[in-house]
Every structure is written in structure tokens, then in C-alpha cells.
């Protein structure tokens, strides 16, 4: 047993067999870690693990792989691409010192950008475990990360939205109505992204053409994505479909990603294919990744790690491919992994913090399933906290109820709420379009027009609908 991971409190000595166990025991309580059998057995053991973890030098994470290097391409990615020059300014710190430094005035936005390539996912996960919620918010807000395709996402003071016009039967009219509804509420600058009900190449191409037609007809400075498997998107590109972004759900271990049916080489092939289309106008970030705590446990691919550490390791995969968007779908996996509103809130703040610290354009699907111990007030709280923390984007869905995926998330109105209370703005290019179309700006930055814009009104009249 390692002598490095012992802590004596009074007459009792706590021992942790390795760094993975120490990380898991130090994690704030959540149901997934209990299910995996890696959770601390008491609040006292958790506090002792956090004290012990605070004394671990950051250099330790470069010498003790949590998942064997030989067996896992994510570990090899993390170790092989670690930037020692960027790491140098923080190389002498322990995890506890790192927390204090991150919270200090020395860790400015510019300094945090300079050291981000020296921070491994495990370092980010470790320091998050000894931080309060307000610590996670303060540091994340200092981490400025922007990305671009047809507009610019993640600038300070801006909050974008993914317009999610899902339909249970992929009905074209239903999807088009949701897109129009979202645009009229100023949503959709992060992406217009559809989870298809029927997931195959032909259906993906059909939906891609629908969204591309809308974007081209109204000259909307945004991008589209069909959230289909990465290999389907490669086939769509080969078939000549109008692909803006490549989507894939990713996890923090090779075995997790194998269960999803891809590896790093697959993502590289897809990125090259999307870049070859040259469809971006102000940038070329062509990847859209979704993550979420618990996926490795669900795939029986967690190697004994806690679910938050696995989640942070997924960000190494995302960072490799310079994404436009990374979305932690925080409450989607259900109460077996995040039991209630408190656990969902904590996980959302951890994921956003770790992603931003590692240099990713982090958004969050502020959501829950109907059998979780959570409600919309919990979502309001997390949405507000993430807005304060500088979250890059959230979801926008009619009425906050996704009737295709059968879960509760944030609505078009919720995005307007957080923009209004925090003074946040849409992506600059999209905001200019909103004013040009007279959708917003009628007497104030966040004031909606009380009439349907002329181009939309004419289209509605042409199909026999009301233009008022």
C-alpha cells in the first residue's frame, strides 16, 4: 500500500490504496459512484480524502496513470501531448496549492490561457474535488475560450443557444415550425441541431438539407448539425450532403468510446472530411461533442474511477479536435448516476469548470429525466449559476420538454431569461442578424419584436399560414 496516500486523524489512520481510489473517495457524493462501489463510506472519510488529495503534487499525475498507458489510447493521448513548457509555472504546486493559485489574482484570464495545455484532465478533476461551488464559478468565469464557424461562440459577456427542434417522427413541418419559433426568440446561434428520431444516413441527409435551406434562405450566421453517429456523418459528406458540424458522444476511456463505436482515428477522419468542405466563414471549428458523467460506468468501462474523473478525461478527446462546441448533458443519464437537483447542479458546475480550465468551449444541457428527484426550479438555479460562470451555450427547446428524447431541459424563454438578468448577448454575428431581421432590438437590447419579420411572414403566407 502506498505511503503517499495516508492520513492520520486523531487515533485513526486512513489509507487509500492508489491515486484512483483517493480521487474517488474525495468526490462529492453522487449516486453513480455509490453504484460503482467507489464512493467514500462516510462524510468523514470524504473529508479526509480531500485533505489527502490536497497534499498530492501536480507532478504525481504525470507519473501515475489512472488507466494503464498500455491499454488505453486516451491515457496515451493525455501523456504524450502534455505540454511541459505550459506546465512549468504550476509544476511546483500541490493540488491544494493549485486551488489557491487558481482563485488568486495571479491567475488572470491570460495566464490561465497560457497554462491550459500543461493541465491534464486528472489535475483539473482533482482540484475541482476540493473546490466549493463558488470556487468553480469564479475560476471558470476567468477562463475565456472562444470558437468559430459562421459566428463566434464563447466571447466574454455572451451566451449562445443550441436550437433543438427535435420531433418524435422527424416530421419536416414540425421541425420547421420549431426552428421558426426558436429563431423568433433569438435562439440558435450555437447551432441548429437535431437529434433524429430515425437514425440512418438517408434521414440525416434529408434533415441536413432542410436546415441548410433555412440557413441559406434567410442568410443566418449560424451552423447546423444532425446528431447522428460519426461514421454516418462521414458517409453523408461522401454523398455530398451539406455538413457543417460533425457530432459524436465521447467518453473518457478507450473502452467507453469503443462501446460508442469509434476511436480517435475515426474522429480524425471525420474532422478532415468536414474541414475539406470549407463551409465555415469566420472560423473552422467543425466538431461538436457531447459528454456526461456516468457514461463510462454505464458502459462498464470506468476502470474503477469515479464518474467525474472519467468525464474530465473525455475532455482530452475533445481538446484534441478543436471543437466548436462541447456539451455536457448533465442530467440526461438519470438518477442512477446523479440522484437529485443537488447532485446535478454540482456535476454541471464541475464539468463546466474542468472543460473551461482545459481550454474547451463548454456548454451545458441543463436537464433532468422525469424519474430524477429534480424539478424546473433546480434547472433555473443551475442555469443561473452557469450563466454567472460564463457558460458558452445552453439548450433551447419549445416549452423545455423534449418530446422525442423524453426529458426536461431549458426552453427558448429560459435562454432569454438568463440573457436578461445577466445582460448576456448572443454571438456578435447572430446578434447583428437579429437586429437586421427586426427580431430583437425594438426599444432595447433584449426586447423581442411584437410582429413577425417580413421575410418570415412572406414564407408563412406562401404556405397558407398566418403572417401575423
Predicted pLDDT at 451:
86
Average pLDDT over residues 262-276: 98
Residue 395's H or E segment, with its range, is strand 393-396
∠251-352-249 over CA atoms, to 5°?
25
pLDDT in tens, 322-366: 999 999 999 999 999 999 999 999 999 999 999 999 999 999 999
Percent with pLDDT over 90 in the chain = 92
Whole-angstrom CA distances from 71 to 120, 251, 308 are 18, 15, 20
pLDDT in tens, 448-468: 888 888 888 888 887 765 555
Average pLDDT over residues 403-418: 94
Asked whether the beta carbons of 280 and 274 are under 8 A apart, the reply is no
Residues 6+ apart with CB under 8 A from 230: 246, 247, 248, 262, 266, 267, 270
What span, in angstroms and rounded, lies between the C-alpha atoms of 226 and 371?
A: 27
| Burial readout 377-403 (b: 16 or more C-beta within 10 A, e: otherwise) | ebbebbbbbbbbbbbbbbbbbbebebe
Half-sphere exposure of 191 (CA within 13 A, CB side): 33
What residue has cell string 427558448?
A: 412
Residue 3 has pLDDT above 60, yes or no: no
SS3 call for 279: coil
Asked whether the beta carbons of 408 and 129 are under 8 A apart, the reply is no
C-alpha cell at 329: 448533458
Predicted pLDDT at 453:
87
Residue 2 has pLDDT above 60, yes or no: no
What span, in angstroms and rounded, lies between the C-alpha atoms of 84 and 118?
A: 6
Predicted pLDDT at 465:
59
Predicted pLDDT at 461:
81
Residue 1 has pLDDT above 50, yes or no: no
Would you give the DSSP letter of residue 399?
A: G
Average pLDDT over residues 264-276: 98
Closest CA to 401 of 173, 196, 168: 168
Residue 401 has pLDDT above 50, yes or no: yes
Whole-angstrom CA distances from 468 to 129, 218, 463 are 53, 18, 14
Lowest-confidence pick of 2-11, 87-96, 216-225, 242-251: 2-11
Residue 157 has pLDDT above 80, yes or no: yes
Average pLDDT over residues 119-127: 98
What span, in angstroms and rounded, lies between the C-alpha atoms of 407 and 401?
A: 6
Predicted pLDDT at 454:
87
Q: How confident is the model at residue 442 (pLDDT cuts 50, 70, 90)?
A: low
- Mean pLDDT, the chain, rounded, equals 95
3-state DSSP percent of the chain in helix, strand and coil, to 5? 50, 15, 40
Q: Which residue has the higher pLDDT, 431 or 462?
A: 431
What span, in angstroms and rounded, lies between the C-alpha atoms of 74 and 320?
A: 10
> Could you tell me if residue 271 is left (phi over 0), alpha (psi between -120 and 50 degrees) or otherwise beta?
alpha
pLDDT in tens, 165-178: 999 999 999 999 99
What span, in angstroms and rounded, lies between the C-alpha atoms of 198 and 196?
A: 5
Predicted pLDDT at 61:
98
Average pLDDT over residues 269-282: 98
Would you give the DSSP letter of residue 99?
A: H
Predicted pLDDT at 443:
63
What span, in angstroms and rounded, lies between the C-alpha atoms of 139 and 100?
A: 11
Residues 6+ apart with CB under 8 A from 414: 379, 380, 383, 394, 396, 400
The H-assigned helical ranges of 185-247 are 201-217, 230-238
Backbone dihedral angles phi then psi of residue 405, each to the nearest 5 degrees: -85, -10
C-alpha cell at 138: 469564479
Predicted pLDDT at 448:
87
What span, in angstroms and rounded, lies between the C-alpha atoms of 307 and 414?
A: 28
What span, in angstroms and rounded, lies between the C-alpha atoms of 279 and 240?
A: 13
∠76-311-152 over CA atoms, to 5°?
95
What span, in angstroms and rounded, lies between the C-alpha atoms of 327 and 331?
A: 12
Closest CA to 186 of 414, 440, 363: 440
Average pLDDT over residues 104-122: 98
Amino acid at each position: 500500500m502506498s505511503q503517499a496516500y495516508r492520513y492520520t486523524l486523531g487515533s485513526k489512520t486512513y489509507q487509500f490504496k492508489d491515486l484512483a481510489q483517493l480521487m474517488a473517495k474525495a468526490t462529492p457524493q453522487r449516486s453513480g459512484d455509490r453504484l460503482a462501489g467507489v464512493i467514500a463510506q462516510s462524510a468523514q472519510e470524504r473529508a479526509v480524502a480531500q485533505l489527502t488529495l490536497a497534499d498530492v503534487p501536480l507532478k504525481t499525475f504525470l507519473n501515475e496513470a489512472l488507466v494503464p498507458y498500455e491499454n488505453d489510447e486516451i491515457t496515451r493521448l493525455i501523456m504524450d501531448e502534455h505540454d511541459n513548457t505550459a506546465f512549468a509555472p504550476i509544476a511546483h504546486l500541490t493540488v491544494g496549492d493549485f486551488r489557491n493559485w487558481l482563485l488568486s489574482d495571479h491567475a488572470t484570464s491570460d495566464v490561465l490561457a497560457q497554462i491550459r495545455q500543461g493541465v491534464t484532465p486528472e489535475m483539473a478533476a482533482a482540484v475541482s474535488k476540493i473546490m466549493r461551488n463558488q470556487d468553480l464559478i469564479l475560476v471558470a468565469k476567468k477562463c475565456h475560450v472562444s470558437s468559430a464557424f459562421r459566428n463566434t461562440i464563447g466571447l466574454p459577456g455572451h451566451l449562445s443557444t443550441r436550437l433543438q427542434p427535435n420531433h418524435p417522427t422527424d416530421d419536416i413541418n414540425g421541425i420547421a415550425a420549431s426552428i421558426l419559433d426558436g429563431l423568433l426568440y433569438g435562439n440558435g446561434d450555437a447551432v441548429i441541431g437535431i437529434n433524429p428520431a430515425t437514425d440512418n444516413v438517408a434521414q440525416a441527409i434529408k434533415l441536413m438539407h432542410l436546415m441548410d435551406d433555412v440557413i441559406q434562405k434567410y442568410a443566418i450566421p449560424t451552423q447546423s448539425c444532425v446528431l447522428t453517429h460519426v461514421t454516418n456523418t462521414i458517409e453523408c459528406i461522401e454523398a455530398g450532403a451539406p455538413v457543417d458540424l460533425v457530432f459524436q458522444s465521447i467518453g473518457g476511456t478507450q473502452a467507453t468510446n469503443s462501446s460508442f463505436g469509434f476511436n480517435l482515428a475515426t474522429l480524425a477522419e471525420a474532422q478532415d472530411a468536414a474541414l475539406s468542405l470549407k463551409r465555415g466563414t469566420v472560423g473552422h471549428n467543425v466538431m461538436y461533442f457531447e459528454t456526461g458523467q456516468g457514461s463510462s460506468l454505464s458502459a462498464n468501462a470506468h476502470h474503477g474511477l469515479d464518474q467525474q474523473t472519467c468525464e474530465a478525461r473525455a475532455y482530452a478527446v475533445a481538446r484534441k479536435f478543436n471543437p466548436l462546441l462541447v456539451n455536457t448533458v448533465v442530467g440526461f443519464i438519470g438518477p442512477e448516476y446523479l440522484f437529485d437537483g443537488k447532485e446535478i447542479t454540482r456535476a454541471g458546475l464541475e464539468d463546466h469548470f474542468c472543460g473551461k480550465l482545459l481550454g474547451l468551449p463548454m456548454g451545458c444541457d441543463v436537464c433532468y429525466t422525469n424519474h430524477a428527484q429534480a424539478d424546473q426550479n433546480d434547472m433555473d438555479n443551475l442555469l443561473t449559476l452557469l450563466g454567472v460562470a460564463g457558460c458558452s451555450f445552453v439548450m433551447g427547446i419549445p416549452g423545455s420538454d423534449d418530446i422525442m428524447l423524453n426529458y426536461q431541459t431549458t426552453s427558448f424563454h429560459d435562454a432569454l431569461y438568463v440573457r436578461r438578468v445577466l445582460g448576456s448577448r448572443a454571438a456578435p454575428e447572430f446578434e447583428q442578424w437579429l437586429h437586421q431581421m427586426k427580431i430583437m432590438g425594438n426599444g432595447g437590447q433584449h426586447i423581442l419584436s411584437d410582429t413577425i419579420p417580413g421575410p418570415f411572414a412572406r414564407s408563412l403566407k406562401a404556405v397558407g399560414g398566418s403572417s401575423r
